[in-house]
Amino acid sequence: MGVVLDVKSGRLVAAVKAPEAARQRSTPGSILKPLFLTAALEQREVLPQTKVFCRRDLHIREGNREWNLACTHPRSDAAFAAKEALAYSCNRYFAALADRIPPRQAAAILESYGLAPTTPTSQEQKELLVLGVAGVTVSPTQLAIAYRKLALELADAQAPAALDAVREGLKDSVNYGMAHNAVVPGMEIAGKTGTASDQGQSWSHGWFAGTGYLGHKEYVVVIYLPRGNGADAALLAQRFFLATKVSAASGRAVSAP
Ligand SMILES: [Zn+2]
């Protein structure tokens, strides 16, 4: 499933399986991280240079469930500041970020992007919400609308300088981080991947959400893979960007591959 929006107008440019893309609700996983980071930087709850040490292990126990949220980034025993933490999708960093924001605000941040979370009632629930593994489900269409809002905020000339960490972190995510499969030489692509499972499912699904310029126009692209992981979704995003690059070069309009 995929959704492509024109950032400036918000117009739906292309959708693969459009009705399902609007209806399907799934656990978002790491795809929410840039939304929380943007809000926490704006509120000065974290500073761009605030570092968190990561050994890649993270376990959260909530109710009768135990969550293994080990990081998958290559570097271990490293201290990450905001930009790198986003590029490497560091769960430890974002659990620490969750601890700095009040529960009601954690929910309000997602609501401001058009999502409908449950307000967390414990520290563990709040961490799970920020990590996108519990407390909220999203549709590809909802996520595309949320990322369009984020793209507009990041492009705003009045935006605080601290948001450079989000801008750069999303680009680095594609350049060398967890969304590297989406890279297309010569194209500026910024994005994030997510891998998560829905309750009661033994398999994972994959997300990619990001933006890319085609000529002077910026597009939001969201890919949802019902089975797979974020790296697979990023690869599909790359295919889309490559196809649009070719069609733009030949003078045709943007369309879904
Ligand atoms: Zn980590």
Give the model's pLDDT for residue 257. 44
Distance 92 CA to ligand 1 centre (A): 5
Distance 23 CA to ligand 1 centre (A): 32
Distance 105 CA to ligand 1 centre (A): 24
Decide: helix, strand or coil at residue 106. Answer: helix
CA-based nearest residue to 112, from 128, 99, 100, 101: 101
Distance 56 CA to ligand 1 centre (A): 5
**What domains can you pick out in the chain, each with its CATH number?**
2-249 (3.40.710.10)
Distance 84 CA to ligand 1 centre (A): 10
Would you say the pTM of this structure is higher than 0.85? Answer: yes
CA distance 86 to 71: 12
Distance 93 CA to ligand 1 centre (A): 6
Distance 142 CA to ligand 1 centre (A): 27
Distance 64 CA to ligand 1 centre (A): 24
Distance 60 CA to ligand 1 centre (A): 14
Distance 192 CA to ligand 1 centre (A): 15
CA distance 2 to 143: 11
CA distance 121 to 203: 28
Helix/strand/coil percent split, the chain, to 5: 40, 20, 35
Distance 174 CA to ligand 1 centre (A): 17
Distance 1 CA to ligand 1 centre (A): 29
Distance 59 CA to ligand 1 centre (A): 12
Which residues of the chain, if any, have pLDDT below 70? 246-257
